Amino acid sequence: MIKDAINGYGTNGKRVADAVALQDDMKVVGVTKTKPDFEAKLAAKRYPLYVAIPENAEKFEKAGVKIEGTIEDLLEKVDLVVDCSPNKVGAQNKPMYEKAGVKAIFQGGEKKDVAEISFNALANYDKAIGKNFVRVVSCNTTGLTRVIHLIKEMYSIKKVRATMIRRVVDPKEDKKGIVNGIIPDPVKLPSHHAEDVKTVLPDVNIVTTAYKVPTTLMHLHSISIELNEKADVKDVISRFEEEPRILLVSENDGFTSTAKVIEYAREFRKRYDLFENVIWRESINFEDNELYITQAIHQEAIVIPENIDAIRAMFEIASKEDSIKKTNETLEIGKLKL
């Protein structure tokens, strides 16, 4: 049983905690919050709660929210911490993890040098074996990396060009966002996503662009992969059909937008979490040496299985195939196929 802490029980952290709790080879020893809000109250009902910023302990006491101690107390009890704090805060937390002698997983909001390797389960599970510090790449990078890796196993890739149409904020982020407009983000092209993909797939020639639009549900990726050889669309579809972390959907079934995809997920999944890349079957096309794919990525959920697989790799307790199979079964990944 690998004893885990989740530092930062936010969008990502609450999902990682629930996913760890479903595994039989790891457990949640505690989660942290910075302030005693409704999420802290909910967290305390589900898991032992610790305060992420020790100076704030009194605020919890005053609000009547029971805590078991501080992050430092929690680190004494665990083998690994999954850092799910906001962008760039993970790097500030790293010295605390080093001092406590625990392994740590960082998220995609951190720079790549926070960890020994950047991780995607399908593409480079074995690189994380035995490592102390691993970064699970961001939602967009996870979505791109999975697809590019699968195509790379089938064909010789000349270059990849991808455009990310990004949800502007997560649903709960009421202080940020736009209600009317499109944000070129970044304005100066290309976007950083290509460089991030190369932290996992260093030999892929990829350039990306990205724009934010007023939606909170999912990102949408328009991908074109130029190949050095001819591709057979039927073979690509078959490969995607057999990969549990890909969910093929069809316009014929009424999946006309990300709104419809989420409506489907609402029927089956807590928080409508989609751990799979959602690819439109009809979008997969091969024209003039280029393979075209349109996919939607549920930003809040896509990296959760990767965090679980990274834990197994870091403690060398399962092979890539065994870990992915176990994670898929426990999170019911692959069960939504129509």
**At 3, which helix (H) or strand (E)?**
strand 2-7
* Interface mask toward ligand NAD for 312-331; x: CB under 6 A: --------------------
Torsion sign over Cα 244, 246, 251, 254: positive
* 202-211: b (≥16 Cβ within 10 Å) or e: eebebebbbb
Shortest CB 266 distance to ligand NAD, Å: 18
- Pick 214 or 233: Cβ nearer ligand NAD: 214
User: CA-to-CA distance for 226 and 243, rounded, in angstroms?
Assistant: 22
**Residue found under tokens 């892929």:** 204
Active site residue 84: no
Span of 120-128, 209-217, 224-232, 298-306 interacting with ligand NAD by CB under 6 A: 298-306
Q: Which residue is nearest to ligand NAD (CB)?
A: 10
DSSP assigned state of 70: B
Given candidates 4, 6, 7, 194, which one binds ligand NAD under the rule CB under 6 A?
Answer: 7
Given candidates 44, 105, 107, 197, which one binds ligand NAD under the rule CB under 6 A?
Answer: 107
Shortest CB 207 distance to ligand NAD, Å: 22
Check: CB of residue 236 under 8 Å from CB of residue 284.
yes
Given candidates 23, 34, 118, 120, which one binds ligand NAD under the rule CB under 6 A?
Answer: 34
Amino acid at site 196: D
Please report, as residue ranges, which positions from 122 to 141 form the binding site for ligand NAD (by CB under 6 A): 138-139
What are the φ/ψ torsions at residue 209 (nearest 5 degrees)? -130, 160
Torsion of CA 226, 253, 260, 38, to 10 degrees: -100
- Pick 85 or 215: Cβ nearer ligand NAD: 85
* Interface mask toward ligand NAD for 196-235; x: CB under 6 A: ----------------------------------------
* Interface mask toward ligand NAD for 51-90; x: CB under 6 A: -xx------------------------------xxxx-x-
Please report, as residue ranges, which positions from 154 to 173 form the binding site for ligand NAD (by CB under 6 A): 170
User: CA-to-CA distance for 329 and 316, rounded, in angstroms?
Assistant: 20
Q: Is 10 in the site for ligand NAD (CB under 6 A)?
A: yes
Shortest CB 50 distance to ligand NAD, Å: 10
DSSP string, 133-168: EEEE--HHHHHHHHHHHHHHHHS-EEEEEEEEEEES
**At 194, which helix (H) or strand (E)?**
helix 193-198
Span of 11-19, 180-188, 189-197, 230-238 interacting with ligand NAD by CB under 6 A: 11-19
Choice among 43, 52, 78, 139 that is catalytic: 139
Give which of 22, 39, 29 is closest to 6, Cα–Cα: 29
Shortest CB 299 distance to ligand NAD, Å: 3
Shortest CB 241 distance to ligand NAD, Å: 26
User: CA-to-CA distance for 301 and 247, rounded, in angstroms?
Assistant: 14
Span of 101-109, 229-237, 289-297, 317-325 interacting with ligand NAD by CB under 6 A: 101-109
Question: What is the Cβ-side half-sphere exposure of residue 123, based on CA atoms within 13 angstroms?
Answer: 27
User: Bridge partners of 248?
Assistant: 279
- Pick 12 or 323: Cβ nearer ligand NAD: 12
- Pick 303 or 333: Cβ nearer ligand NAD: 303
Q: Is 49 in the site for ligand NAD (CB under 6 A)?
A: no
Q: SS3 breakdown of the chain: % helix, strand, coil, rounded to 5?
A: 40, 25, 35
From residue 245, give the alpha-carbon distance in Å to each of 135, 293, 325: 20, 16, 10
Active-site residue numbers?
A: 139
Task: Return residues touching ligand NAD (CB under 6 A).
Answer: 7-13, 32-34, 52-53, 84-87, 89, 93, 107-110, 138-139, 170, 299-300, 303
